[in-house]
Structure 1
Amino acid sequence: MDATRKARLEAAGINVDGALERFMGNASMLERYLGRFLEEKSYAALSDAVAADDAAAAAAAVHTLKSVCGTIGCARMRELALAQEAKMRAGDWPGAKAMMPELAAEYAGICAALRG
């Protein structure tokens, strides 16, 4: 991973150094996982579940999204998913749904950085 790519990923909220630690310094493996994030289905499942007003499916999807984001270093997205999951567990479905625009913006920024 070159310095320009690393800077772009970090600007999008990805903790590259932290992720590299989890991948034992293997930058090529991290790059593969970052590429897989673009194909990962948990965000789409979350978005669809919220649109369908399906709290159970949304809870499962946000749990998976939180884990994926933690693995690849998407710290801000993980924090948002964690907060949304907490709202769901507390029975605050309206509050959890209200977080979707912020989650969508963060997700879009990460995807743009990964594609760039």
Structure 2
Amino acid sequence: MTDKYKRQLLDAGVNLESALDRFMGSEVLYDNFLLKFIQDNTFCQLKEFLSNNDIQNAFVQAHTLKGVVANLEFLPLLDILTPMTELLRSGDIEKISEQQELLEVRYDKICSIIKDNH
């Protein structure tokens, strides 16, 4: 990983030090998981289920995505997915649209950084 790439991730709110610790200090391994993240369709499925008001399946996707972003230390996404998951768990979808919009902006930003560096 280049210093520029690392700086972009840090500026986007990624806890890179903790993430690299989780990946045994291997930047190559971590970067491989970043590439897998942008290829994963969990986020797209979450959006689809939310647009169809399929709360149960949206919850499953949000919970899955929350685990992935926690492991990758994408704190700006985790900050949204944690309360969103709990709202979906309880079936309270009134506040979801605001969170969904912010999640999409932050998700797109991190994905753009990853794509721009490959």
Q: TM-score, normalised by structure 1?
A: 0.94
Is the CA contact 2:55–2:91 (under 8 Å) kept in the aligned structure 1? no
Q: Superposition pairs for residues 19-58 of structure 1, below 5 Å?
A: 19-58=19-58
Counterpart of 1:67 in structure 2 is 67
1:92 Cα deviation from its structure 2 partner: 1.3
Counterpart of 2:81 in structure 1 is 81
Worse-superposed segment, 90-99 or 53-62? 90-99
Is the CA contact 1:8–1:113 (under 8 Å) kept in the aligned structure 2? yes
Counterpart of 2:14 in structure 1 is 14
1:96 Cα deviation from its structure 2 partner: 2.2
1:98 Cα deviation from its structure 2 partner: 3.2
1:31 Cα deviation from its structure 2 partner: 0.4
User: Alignment partner of 2:94: what SS?
Assistant: helix
Letter in 2 for 1:30: Y
Counterpart of 2:90 in structure 1 is 90
Aligned length: 116
User: Alignment partner of 1:38: what SS?
Assistant: helix
Q: Please identify runs of 4+ aligned residues in structure 1 that moved more than 6 A.
A: none
Q: How far apart, in 2, do the equivalents of 1:114 and 1:6 lie?
A: 10
Identity among equivalent positions (%) equals: 25
Counterpart of 1:114 in structure 2 is 114
Per-residue CA shift, 1:10-46, capped at 9, x if unaligned?
1122211111011010110000000111111111111
- Any unmatched runs of 5+ in structure 1? none
RMSD: 1.1
1:94 Cα deviation from its structure 2 partner: 1.6
1:97 Cα deviation from its structure 2 partner: 3.4
Q: How far apart, in 1, do the equivalents of 2:50 and 2:97 lie?
A: 6
Q: How far apart, in 2, do the equivalents of 1:88 and 1:72 lie?
A: 22
User: Alignment partner of 1:93: what SS?
Assistant: coil
